[in-house]
Amino acid sequence: MENVKLIIEKNIQVGKDIYLMRLAGDTKAICNPGEFINITIPNYYLRRPISVCRYSNNHVDILYKVLGRGTKDLSTFKEKTEIDALIGLGNGFDITKSNKPLLIGGGIGIAPLFGLAEAFNKIGIKPTLIYGARSIDDIVLVDKLSKLADVHICTDDGSLGYKGNVIEYLKQSSIDFDYYYSCGPEKMLEFLAKEYSNGCVSLEARMGCGFGACMGCSIKTTNGYKRVCKEGPVFASSEVLF
């Protein structure tokens, strides 16, 4: 973990209440797709955890949805604003688990799957990606995703792609995979884990410190309590007691 100052290079709206922010600076402490960063937003006591979307040694992109006051404030930040953040947090995804990966993203849970797809591309693998959301307005950056993965889209209302959720889509499809990587709403992850045990889920939790000190983000697993911020956010599907 490192505490760094990053400069906003861009902060643009890419969908309904969804923003893409590029932060420039020393980001060498970010080692794996699926890690998160914890951002200080002035006037709020607690930092806000946001997944690493894409990254290099000198930048990190985040994709975030405006949910409450903190993310609303974040969406108003202008270019060249300095941001204080803890980076290199969490375990991230393990790409060595799969030769035929299936990535499954629900809503804003698509964010860490960009970096994951990119990591697979670097070792010569183009993963399959199922991207589900409520409607077409919640689906973002498909052009960029399509360069990294074989993308299948589902919407609850059928306004884009398959009409239904990601699990219904997966069941009726003939997608061949040996391991899945998922991030999205808790209910989606729970149903996915019940149907398919050969994969992992990236979880969210209300966080205090974000680096393992307060136990505030603990969840029940088959191996006792674990901290989402430290042992997670990525857990084996079979391990989480939803």
Ligand X SMILES: Cc1cc2nc3c(=O)[nH]c(=O)nc-3n(C[C@H](O)[C@H](O)[C@H](O)COP(=O)(O)OP(=O)(O)OC[C@H]3O[C@@H](n4cnc5c(N)ncnc54)[C@H](O)[C@@H]3O)c2cc1C
Q: Where do contacts with ligand FES occur on this chain (CB under 6 A)?
A: 207-210, 212-217, 227, 229
Backbone φ and ψ for 139, nearest 5 degrees, come out as -95, 125
Q: Which does 175 bind (CB under 5 to 8 A by kind): ligand X, ligand FES, none?
A: none
Q: Are strands 224-227 and 218-221 parallel, antiparallel or unpaired?
A: antiparallel
Select 49 or 101, whichever has its Cβ closest to ligand X.
49
Angle value at C-alpha 118, between 94 and 59, nearest 5 degrees: 100
71 binds, among ligand FES, ligand X, none (CB under 5 to 8 A by kind): ligand X
Residues 85-114 that bind ligand X (CB under 6 A): 108, 111
Where do the H-state alpha helices sit in the chain? 69-76, 111-122, 142-148, 166-172, 186-195
Query: Considering CB distances under 5 to 8 angstroms, the limit depending on partner class, which of ligand X, ligand FES, none binds residue 215?
Result: ligand FES
Six-digit token string for 194:
């019940």
Q: Which of 40, 71, 121, 238 binds ligand X (CB under 6 A)?
A: 71
Residue 227 interacting entry, from ligand X, ligand FES, none, C-beta within 5 to 8 Å by type: ligand FES
Using DSSP, state whether 108 is helix, strand or coil: helix
Q: Minimum Å distance from CB 67 to ligand FES?
A: 18
Q: Which token pair is 6?
A: 């990053």
For the bound state, the minimum distance from the C-beta of residue 209 to ligand FES, rounded and expressed in Å, comes to 4
Q: How far is the CB of 74 from ligand X (least distance, A)?
A: 8
- The span of 8-16, 22-30, 47-55, 130-138 binding ligand X (CB under 6 A) equals 47-55
Cis peptide before 233 (omega within 30 of 0): yes
**Quick one: 96 exposed, middle or buried, by C-beta within 10 A (0-12, 13-18, 19+)?**
exposed
Which residue matches tokens 């430290």?
230
Q: What is the DSSP letter of 240?
A: B
- Of 46-54, 92-100, 117-125, 167-175: span binding ligand X (CB under 6 A): 46-54
Binding partner of residue 140 among ligand FES, ligand X, none, CB cut-off 5 to 8 Å per kind: none
